[in-house]
Chains A and B, each alone.
Chain A
Amino acid sequence: MSAALLHAKGVSISFGGLKALHDVHLELRPNEVVGVIGPNGAGKTTLFNAMCGLVKPDSGTFEFEGKERAWPSTDELVDLGISRTLQGVGLFPELTVLENVMIGAQKLAKTGLISAALGTNKRDEEVLRDKAMRALDRVYAGTLANRRADTLAYPDTKRVSIARALVSEPKILMLDEPAGGLGPQDIEWMNNLIRNLTATMSVLIVEHHMDVVMSVCDRLYVLNFGEVIASGAAETVRRDPAVIAAYLGTGVA
């Protein structure tokens, strides 16, 4: 077993009286796809948000590349090599697709603010444009580059949001419900894409529908009421009685 790229231990978060997460462990190794699944309100997105600095955990430690460190703030995320997509896609509607993706490439811009304002470093802008273009090609959305984001069909917005996450060349890609709202064909396409990405990065997926992630994930964590009720290889988890009960109990099977 190779060393963990990311390891969250004993994570607990409560909002007022509500315990959103209780003593959750999660490990992500290099080049693997890990899914966090569970019924609605199980705490999946809260766990994601904690790792993105959007929510502060009450307790728990965070290890990155084998070293314990403070929970990352949103500002540090991209520099660490973590990028994420959002459930609501989160594209900027009035920017073009290419501009949307370029936004994800800010850390690659070497220019300081002043010279950026003066536009003195033309090369820098071109490099960003190039990288953004390549990221778009990677999700087969290169032809959409000059469209405005608010004119895209829904499945295309998902591609573009993944391209924006890819452009900073992350070590970890966090996908929040990548299959949400997609038809079977697009889901198959998405799963293939995710598989291909593992050549250069690890992927962490939050997903509500179990079947969607089953085929693409190496390992799964199942959350229910803020606790990990099962974890391990997809096939083992699927047959776990506690998991079946959790899903049947909420009628989402």
Chain B
Amino acid sequence: MFQFINTLLIGVTAGSIYSLMAIAIVLVWRSTRVVNFAAGGLALASSFVGAAILEKSGSFWIALPVAMLAGAVFSAFIEYFFLRPLLNRSGEKNQEIFLPIIATLGLLGIIKAVLNFIYGDRIGVIPPPLSDKGFIVSGESIALSPLRILILGIVLLLMIVLTIVFQRTNLGLSLRAASFAPEISRLAGIRVDLIRTAGWAISGAAGATAGILQTTNGSGSIAPESFEFSLLLVFGFVAAVIGGIESLVGAVLGGLTLGIILAIILMYVGGSLVFFAAFLILILVLLVRPQGIIGVKGGRRA
């Protein structure tokens, strides 16, 4: 029982980070209908910014917001200079719809290459800002540590903020409308291009947070060819697909589901099967329930 609760705690923490990555992917998908493979690269680049700021300032609490801002700026930059020209040329009418998707794959490669060029063999370090030693409950150490509480707290806070933005603000209304029907939104006076860039920027900030938390929850260091970030991107995608790719709530549920399942497999079956299991879940969801666990109705509701 003890071990099972620990497994759940580990799964929920990891899953909450996947949720953030999934949110980054869903936001871009909703605002521009682009499957953004560059999201992993953006998270990596912003985490390097975070690590650099942390080195200079010594404060995690300065590094995190700066990394989020950097993620937003990188992401908006990519949308504005690369995706917007591509999207304006390709329409749903022709096969060119896949162009932006291939472009994001290319951008992922470029971002990694640039990071390799800048950092080479050096690594970025983001040590845990709080203790990662588990609390002691009746003589035994459990998987819940101050660090894990912090991670869960940050993710929860971001989700509350996003929900408020989407449900209660005019920007959120515009984001939801523009993603649903850009042409109608334009006619109604929404500045769709600006809103799309805003969607990418929020996505970049979410991805940056996921990157920082993933690093500090894991080995505490990042390299340009970081395997942890490849995992983060893949798991983020799987989580987004489980959640139905349209819905922010779905992304969160998808991330948590994936995190818990993977933790159970890791603990009770074997570490070598984790990657395999993630892809198996992906394929199963696509085959059995392509609309995700939330389903068609209630999607887009944020």
| A and B held together in a complex | yes
Q: Which residues of A pack against B, CB within 8 Å?
A: 52, 54, 74-75, 77-79, 83-84, 86, 90, 92, 94-95, 99, 102-107, 109, 111, 113, 116-117, 119, 124-125, 128, 164-165, 168
Beta-carbon contact of A117 and B183 below 8 Å: no
Q: Which residue of B lies closest to A102 (CB)?
A: B173
Beta-carbon contact of B177 and A103 below 8 Å: yes
In the complex, B187 has a CB within 8 A of chain A: yes
* A104 partner residues in chain B, CB cutoff 8 A: 188-189
Tell me the interface secondary structure of chain B in the complex.
Answer: helix
Tell me the interface secondary structure of chain A in the complex.
Answer: helix
User: With contacts A75-B192, A75-B193 known, what are 5 further pairs, Cβ within 8 A?
Assistant: A54-B183, A75-B191, A106-B189, A106-B191, A116-B169
In the complex, B93 has a CB within 8 A of chain A: no
Specify which of A103, A107, A124, A128 lies most central, judged by the most chain B CB atoms within 10 Å of its CB.
A103
Task: Report B294 CB to chain A, min CB distance, Å.
Answer: 12
**Number of B residues whose C-beta is below 8 Å from A?**
29
With beta carbons under 8 angstroms apart, the residue of B181, B191, B192 that contacts A92 is B181
Beta-carbon contact of B190 and A103 below 8 Å: yes
Q: Which residue of A lies closest to B176 (CB)?
A: A95
Beta-carbon contact of A75 and B176 below 8 Å: no
Beta-carbon contact of A79 and B189 below 8 Å: yes
Q: Given A102-B170, A103-B177, A106-B174, does the pair A119, B164 have CB atoms closer than 8 Å? A: yes
Task: Report A157 CB to chain B, min CB distance, Å.
Answer: 13
Specify which of A109, A113, A124 lies most central, judged by the most chain B CB atoms within 10 Å of its CB.
A113
* A52 partner residues in chain B, CB cutoff 8 A: 187
Beta-carbon contact of B190 and A117 below 8 Å: no
Beta-carbon contact of B170 and A116 below 8 Å: yes
Beta-carbon contact of B187 and A109 below 8 Å: no
Q: How far is the CA of A106 from the CA of B192 in the complex (A)?
A: 11
* A164 partner residues in chain B, CB cutoff 8 A: 188
Q: Given A92-B177, A94-B300, A119-B165, does the pair A103, B171 have CB atoms closer than 8 Å? A: no
With beta carbons under 8 angstroms apart, the residue of B165, B180, B181, B299 that contacts A117 is B165
* B168 partner residues in chain A, CB cutoff 8 A: 119, 125
With beta carbons under 8 angstroms apart, the residue of B169, B181, B198 that contacts A125 is B169
Task: Report A203 CB to chain B, min CB distance, Å.
Answer: 16
In the complex, B123 has a CB within 8 A of chain A: no
